[in-house]
Amino acid sequence: MRRAVLAGICLKKEKERFAVHMEECVSLCEACGIEVCAQVTQQSNSMDPRTAFRAGKLEELAVAVAATESEAVIFAQELPIAVMNRIQEACGVNVIDRTALILDIFSHRAKSRQAKLQVELARLEYAMPSAAVEEETEEHSRGGGFRNRGGGETRTAGIRRTYRKRITALKKELAEIEKDYQAAEHRRSKSELGRVALIGYTNAGKSSLMNAILACNQKEERQVFVKDMLFATLDSSVRNVSHRGMQFLLYDTVGFVSDLPHTLVEAFHSTLDSARNADLLIHVADLSDPFLEEKIQVTLDTLRTIQAEDIPLLTVFTKADQVKEDDRVHEPAVSSVTGEGIEALLDRITDRLYPREEKLVCLIPYAKTALIHDLRRTVHIELLEETENGQLILAEGETARVLPLKQYEVKN
């Protein structure tokens, strides 16, 4: 495991969230196989534009690196390339900022073709400014020809041209995958099934909750990958869930972190679409997390960033088995381990997706019973009686959904 010193600047305007930010960076380091040997922090109104830390604190950072025999400095904030280069000169080891750390994790976690392409795109866009900084001081490496006496092209300029070419190719390939994704989503939309997306802070228990719901549906064979680490999976998964005879599509999405880097928001546009296009968002929050309130706020801020703040939201608190009942300050609480609260959560989801606004008593001819089968996924239907002329049913649901049954309504 690599050894590193974690550095961060506590700006006064972000003082309340700084502890969460640093704790998150420690977890990010662990997920990346890096041991944090020491932490060096500074409180300030602003970052030094040249070296982030002030001179005295920069010397302290260099001493900490030498004392712990660390191989790198991990900076908790996103830094300009030129600033990282100066810190690297002062400390004598590689400097990695928070965005590079997250990109490194994502590159190891990506499994699907789409996720791998998205990560590569984000890495290239992140690296472009670095090439620009190097080019400013680089001598021309390729001279002009006999007919072209120009200064030639720098090596870095060639690299940047290669980057731009690859970025264009990646965006084109991702657009093709996006077409296939949209076609699949269009087919799902024709089913008129409600869409539910699990969202929340990374490692809050979204995938475990999805598996608990699938187990409740006796669909263990379709469970998703779960591991106790940040960003265990980057791919959005979708499963069909049935409860009380009603069906809906359940999506598991990539986890959020504070100040999600812009390049990642852009790269994972299609993955986040499952949250943007949902009829209902299930905000999964870890009841046992000491920074629960701060992470709830981060999730709400991220929803605004991806323009999903207007979608109906239901917050559910997971890992109830890790908290004593007397210490619970939030409800509804569920446990993916014991199954506590899962049935009640499914009741709330189906009630929110398919509200019972209208009741109809209908006599459905036996020749039209396929209609009952088609509507049963989105309308509450109860068989009242089998008659000579057909099935007498009670249908409850939104007016638009029960409309096909109107012609068979029994008025009295």
**Per-residue pLDDT, 149:** 47
pLDDT beyond 60 at 59: yes
* Whether the predicted pLDDT of 146 surpasses 90: no
Residue 301 shares a structural domain with residue 207? yes
Structure pTM?
Answer: 0.74
Q: What is residue 262's predicted lDDT score, i.e. its pLDDT?
A: 67
pLDDT of amino acid 338: 92
Q: How confident is the model at residue 122 (pLDDT cuts 50, 70, 90)?
A: confident
Looking at the fold, whether 267 and 227 belong to one and the same domain comes out as yes
Token code pair at residue 185: 């989503």
Strand partners for 395: 360, 381
Q: Which helix (H) or strand (E) holds 20?
A: helix 15-31
**Which of 96-105, 173-182, 183-192, 351-360 has the weakest average pLDDT?**
183-192
Residue 69: phi and psi, rounded to 5, are 55, 40
337 lies in the same domain as 210: yes
Residue 404 makes CB contacts below 8 A (sequence gap 6+) with: 371, 375
- Answer with the residue of higher pLDDT: 160 or 54: 54
Same domain, 213 and 323: yes
The verdict on 339 and 203 lying in the same domain is yes
Q: Which tens digit of pLDDT belongs to each residue from 342-388?
A: 999 999 999 999 888 899 999 999 999 999 988 988 899 999 999 99
Chain position carrying tokens 């680490």: 229
Question: Could you tell me the CATH number of the domain that includes residue 212?
Answer: 3.40.50.300
For the segment 183-203, the average pLDDT, to the nearest whole number, is 77
Distance from the Cα of residue 35 to its chain's centroid: 25
Do 215 and 240 share a structural domain? yes
At residue 30, does pLDDT exceed 90? no
**Same domain? 121 vs 216:** no
Lowest mean pLDDT among 153-167, 306-320, 331-345: 153-167
Q: Please indicate, yes or no, whether residues 216 and 326 belong to a single structural domain of this protein.
A: yes
**Domain interval for residue 86:** 2-106
Specify whether the CB–CB gap between 110 and 232 falls below 8 A: no
Would you say 9 and 41 are in contact if contact means Cβ atoms under 8 Å apart?
yes
Provide the terminal-to-terminal Cα distance of the chain, rounded to the nearest Å. Answer: 75
Which has the higher per-residue pLDDT, 245 or 84?
84
Number of domain units in the chain: 4
The per-residue pLDDT of the chain, averaged, comes to 83
Q: What is the pLDDT of residue 360?
A: 93
Q: Does the bond joining 332 to the residue before it have cis omega, within 30 degrees of 0? A: yes
